[in-house]
């Protein structure tokens, strides 16, 4: 099945961008998306900024798109696919680091990573300045993992949170490979405490990416190395994207099932019409004005010249119904209301476009250099 996913889009745009065809699986989807993204990462970042701005993190920006809804992937909250609602979009797409830098002053819901609540982080500059001290202190304060002492969500430095051996810094101070330079021992995986994970999760809800100052402040607050915070956010973003992909894939499968069923129904309907024509040949030769009742939907056709039923392609080939091509040439809803027509009647329930259509023109980012 050839699926063109638009994972990062909002509800409305997802409906427009969705391409549903036949032929391959999700891996191809991701590769396709990656290829597209590689070509215009700046565009993607720009889109992230726009969508992110609707979540409160970037309040100064305005977006014509509907607000992005944060993904909540609890089992009970996964959208019921029977009605084919588009799955919830991923959590606020991270703004580019450049954008993030401009958003430092933004206050977040109850928690500003730039302002440590209990720890005296006197501004981000101080935090940046204290990075070496921070890491030294963190290394000195490192103790047994899973230390759950202390009260969430305040000062984690007092609880001696775990810090990976070696005390390497983030990439700016140390190379990424220098994390396990404690005598050349193999990397030691340390699990974050529940409190630390919860705090990071709260922070992630506010912003999916961190600028360096936020990272340092958060690391200091949690008594972790900045690199650990960075890695946590990377992995968290990856998990979010993976889950969103699963949700989208499930939705598209349901879309395909629905369209297959609709195609089957139309095939049956066509067969019935042909049988009717065979049994009553004169029936079709009557003046069009006298043949105004559609045998299927039993509605009076207003236009006598319009065909009662749209031609349906064989099921063996990608049918127009399956690809959505027939949406424009199908009879009007007044003439033949069906679940298929209803699928395209509402903007939100019109997620399919022709697979052969030209790619949706992405919003062009301002040309650089």
Partner DNA sequence: GGGTTTGTGTCGATTACTTCA
Partner DNA sequence: CTTGAAGTAATCGACACAAAC
What are the residues binding DNA (CB under 7 A)?
A: 30, 34, 38-42, 45, 94, 96-98, 100, 145-146, 164, 170-172, 176-177, 179-180, 186-192, 197, 209-212, 227-228, 230-232, 234-239, 241, 368-369
E strand intervals along 195-335 = none
Q: Which is nearer to DNA, 185 or 339 (CB)?
A: 185
Q: Which is nearer to DNA, 10 or 209 (CB)?
A: 209
Q: Which two tokens stand for residue 203?
A: 């922070």
Its sign, for the CA torsion 320, 32, 49, 76, is positive
Asked if residues 127 and 213 have their Cβ atoms less than 8 Å apart, the reply is yes
Closest approach, Cβ 164 to DNA, in A, equals 4
Q: Which is nearer to DNA, 224 or 259 (CB)?
A: 224
Q: Which is nearer to DNA, 115 or 236 (CB)?
A: 236
Angstrom distance (rounded) from CA 319 to CA 329 = 13
Q: Which is nearer to DNA, 235 or 345 (CB)?
A: 235
Closest approach, Cβ 359 to DNA, in A, equals 17
Closest approach, Cβ 16 to DNA, in A, equals 22
Angstrom distance (rounded) from CA 297 to CA 278 = 20
Closest approach, Cβ 240 to DNA, in A, equals 9
Q: In degrees, to the nearest 5, what angle opens at C-alpha 176 toward C-alphas 170 and 180?
A: 100
Angstrom distance (rounded) from CA 110 to CA 112 = 7
Closest approach, Cβ 133 to DNA, in A, equals 18
Closest approach, Cβ 62 to DNA, in A, equals 20
Angstrom distance (rounded) from CA 97 to CA 22 = 38
Q: Which is nearer to DNA, 208 or 322 (CB)?
A: 208
Of 130, 136, 201, 213, residue with least CA distance to 168: 136
Angstrom distance (rounded) from CA 120 to CA 155 = 10
- In DSSP terms, which residues pair with 4 in a beta bridge? 19
């Amino acid at each position: 099945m050839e699926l063109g996913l638009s994972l990062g889009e909002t509800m409305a745009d997802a409906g427009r961008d969705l391409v549903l065809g036949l032929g391959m699986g999700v891996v191809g989807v991701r590769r396709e998306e990656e290829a597209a993204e590689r070509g215009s990462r700046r565009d993607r970042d720009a889109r992230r900024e726009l969508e992110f701005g609707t979540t409160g993190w970037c309040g100064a920006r305005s977006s014509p798109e509907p607000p992005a809804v944060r993904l909540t992937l609890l089992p009970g909250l996964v959208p019921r696919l029977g009605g084919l609602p588009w799955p919830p979009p991923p959590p606020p797409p991270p703004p580019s680091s450049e954008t993030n830098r401009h958003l430092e002053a933004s206050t977040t819901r109850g928690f500003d990573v730039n302002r440590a609540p209990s720890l005296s982080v006197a501004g981000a500059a101080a935090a940046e300045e204290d990075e070496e001290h921070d890491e030294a202190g963190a290394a000195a304060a490192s103790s047994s993992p899973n230390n759950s002492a202390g009260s969430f969500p305040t000062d984690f430095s007092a609880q001696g949170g775990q810090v990976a051996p070696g005390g390497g810094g983030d990439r700016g101070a140390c190379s990424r490979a220098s994390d396990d330079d404690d005598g050349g021992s193999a990397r030691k995986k340390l699990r974050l405490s529940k409190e630390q994970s919860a705090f990071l999760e709260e922070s992630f809800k506010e912003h999916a990416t961190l600028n360096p100052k936020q990272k340092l402040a958060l690391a200091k607050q949690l008594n972790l190395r900045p690199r650990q915070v960075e890695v946590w956010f990377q992995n968290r973003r990856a998990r979010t994207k993976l889950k969103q992909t699963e949700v989208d894939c499930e939705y598209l499968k349901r879309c395909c099932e629905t369209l297959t069923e609709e195609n089957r129904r139309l095939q049956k309907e066509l067969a019935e019409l042909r049988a009717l024509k065979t049994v009553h040949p004169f029936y079709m030769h009557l003046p069009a004005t006298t043949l105004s009742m559609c045998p299927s939907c039993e509605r009076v056709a207003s236009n006598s010249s319009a065909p009662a039923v749209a031609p349906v392609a064989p099921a063996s080939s990608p049918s127009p119904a399956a690809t959505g091509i027939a949406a424009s040439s199908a009879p009007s809803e007044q003439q033949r209301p069906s679940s298929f027509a209803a699928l395209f009647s509402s903007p939100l329930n019109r997620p399919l476009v022709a697979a052969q259509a030209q790619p949706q023109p992405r919003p062009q980012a301002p040309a650089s250099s």
